[in-house]
Structure 1
Amino acid sequence: MKRIMTILVGLCIAMTAFAGPALAAEQSELGSVISKQEQQEVVNVAHRGASGHAPENTMSAFHKGVEMKADYIEIDVQMTKDGELVVIHDTTVDRTTNGTGDVGDLTFEEIRELDAGSWFGEGYAGEKVPTFEEILDTFRGKVGILIELKAPELYPGIEEKVADALTERNMERPNNDKIIIQSFNHESMKISKELLPSIPHGVLAGMSWADVTEEQLAEFATYADYFNPNMNIVTHELVSNVHEAGMKIFAYTSRTQEQADRLFQLNVDGIVSDFPEHVYYHPVKNK
């Protein structure tokens, strides 16, 4: 009997040794898969609304982002010739409407007459360029709003106008980070933070900030709560340094599941995506 047991033990050891490399490979492969828990910890930001599904920066895109259960919709705010705040990405209307010209050279009435949906699909013909106040009135309390001040250097006083619109609606108070303001113009964020000290602010960072130093991050942290970079410069080291500086990091702009998965693995706090379905929604997050 002892001899039989010895043989059986030997066989078990041999089988384990044989399976070891295969098991290790399987575990390694599984290790690269994003867990549901990891996805739940990442904030889902619908870029210009769910812009992979509807024309960017339109009410249809924002409603779609809410329908797809994004945590935030991201909007771009600019100012017309007559001082109205409108939501559009480019500093001209050429790409996303049937009009031409600079946003700042057109009146609100002129911009409002434009078709902002047909370029995306016939089913969106007649979509209008929305106003900032329309977005606030329609979506506050329903979804977080990530407000980007687009080229604020072209629109003197835009920070004050945004602050006034938020204050009129009692949205300038802390509300679980449901309002965030960001811009590539970091000086504008200093101005905005002084006007709205209770609202989190973020500095956007393009490819030129790939070598941002810890000292620069510490300086940003004196007025910003977020460092939001182009996803292509995000590394484990950058994420760690941003967190060490006391800020969070939302990476932009993911357009494929593979890109989103990479950002999950890098432990970013939020992913800005044209396709909210790529970023798992956690209904308890930020409540």
Structure 2
Amino acid sequence: MNKKFLVGAGLAFSLLVSPFSQVFAEQPTVGERKQVDNVAHRGATGYAPENTIAAFDLAVEMKADYIEIDVQRSKDGELVLIHDTTVDRTTDGTGKVGDLTFEQLRSLDAGSWFGEQFEGEKIPTFDEILDRYHGKVGILVEMKSPELYPGIEEQVAEELKERNLDKPQNEKIIIQSFNFDSMKKMDKLLPKVPIGVLTSNRAHTTPEALQEFSTYADWFNPSYGIVTKELVNQVHSLGMQIGSWTVRSQEAADFLFEMGVDAIITDYPDYVDPRK
């Protein structure tokens, strides 16, 4: 694939120049943090209700490089943003996302649970988020439990194609999931869009597993509890990048900086802010 070739070429070049850069980089500097993508997990969810416009607007204001969003589907086929497969935790409603119509989902209050100042926040739609934020901030699209929504891969791909976000010049769209089969499908549907695989399972960090992921994925995104320097190096050697989640402390962010990851997925974008 073209995207794999470009990543590989970049890696080869970096290996050629690395002996020279090491001479000037013995001490980490604040500037080095700018090389790490700051990904606001479901928005700036340390400060606002997750997967809402309030959280995403705040992430943009806090200069995040990406917002991470969770995409599911309503009973009547609308792509919506919510993390859990039920609405119980993050709204004033109950029930499974896929059992509720878009009108029912949209009528729910998705903000009050976090704080009364967020009363009236709605569950956003996928197209609403694309239209509001593309060109302003990168968008990391997580396909949440796609096995529950047959055909959702084609729907997501179509929404991106309608906005020309399937083209290589729009590099700030990434699609990821814990469902590897779904990501293989997305790679075929959108061959120029970076694909990521999510895991918290150490079994997925073996050389064999990583080699398999590298045949269709551009990003390997593990939970930070299984990140090691060796893993980061292995991922990079296969031409992939590595983004880790979910950072909720400065200590966790600092650990991932030390490990040399390419992206930090965090509830608190200020913990990853290179200007600090």
Normalised TM-score (structure 1): 0.85
* Aligned ranges 1:1-287 → 2 under 5 Å: 35-175=29-169, 177-206=171-200, 208-209=201-202, 212-281=205-274
> What percentage of aligned pairs have identical amino acids?
63
1:91–1:54 CA distance, 2 compared to 1 (3 A): same
Q: CA deviation at 1:203?
A: 0.3
For 2:232, the aligned partner's letter is: V
1:230–1:210 CA distance, 2 compared to 1 (3 A): farther
Confirm or deny: 8 A CA contact 1:115 1:125 kept in the other structure: yes
1:52–1:156 CA distance, 2 compared to 1 (3 A): same
What is the number of residues matched between the two proteins? Answer: 251
1:161–1:211 CA distance, 2 compared to 1 (3 A): closer
1:145–1:281 CA distance, 2 compared to 1 (3 A): farther
Q: CA deviation at 1:280?
A: 2.2
Rounded to whole Å, the distance in 1 between the matches of 2:32 and 2:62 is 19
Normalised TM-score (structure 2): 0.88
Rounded to whole Å, the distance in 1 between the matches of 2:141 and 2:169 is 15
Q: CA deviation at 1:174?
A: 1.2
Q: CA deviation at 1:213?
A: 1.2
3-state SS in 1 of match to 2:42: coil
Rounded to whole Å, the distance in 2 between the matches of 1:281 and 1:80 is 38
3-state SS in 1 of match to 2:89: coil
Rounded to whole Å, the distance in 1 between the matches of 2:203 and 2:67 is 26
Rounded to whole Å, the distance in 2 between the matches of 1:225 and 1:73 is 18
Residue 8 of structure 1 corresponds to none
Q: CA deviation at 1:34?
A: 5.7
For 1:185, the aligned partner's letter is: N
1:225–1:211 CA distance, 2 compared to 1 (3 A): closer
Rounded to whole Å, the distance in 2 between the matches of 1:209 and 1:100 is 34
**4+ aligned runs moved over 6 Å, structure 1:** none
Q: CA deviation at 1:220?
A: 0.5
Superimposed CA distance per residue, residues 194-227 of structure 1 (whole angstroms, 9 cap, x where no aligned partner): 0000100000011x23562112111101110000
Moved more, 35-44 or 263-272: 35-44
- Name the Cα RMSD after superposition: 1.6
Rounded to whole Å, the distance in 1 between the matches of 2:58 and 2:45 is 9
Rounded to whole Å, the distance in 1 between the matches of 2:78 and 2:172 is 23
3-state SS in 1 of match to 2:205: coil
3-state SS in 1 of match to 2:241: coil
3-state SS in 1 of match to 2:105: helix
Confirm or deny: 8 A CA contact 1:43 1:281 kept in the other structure: no
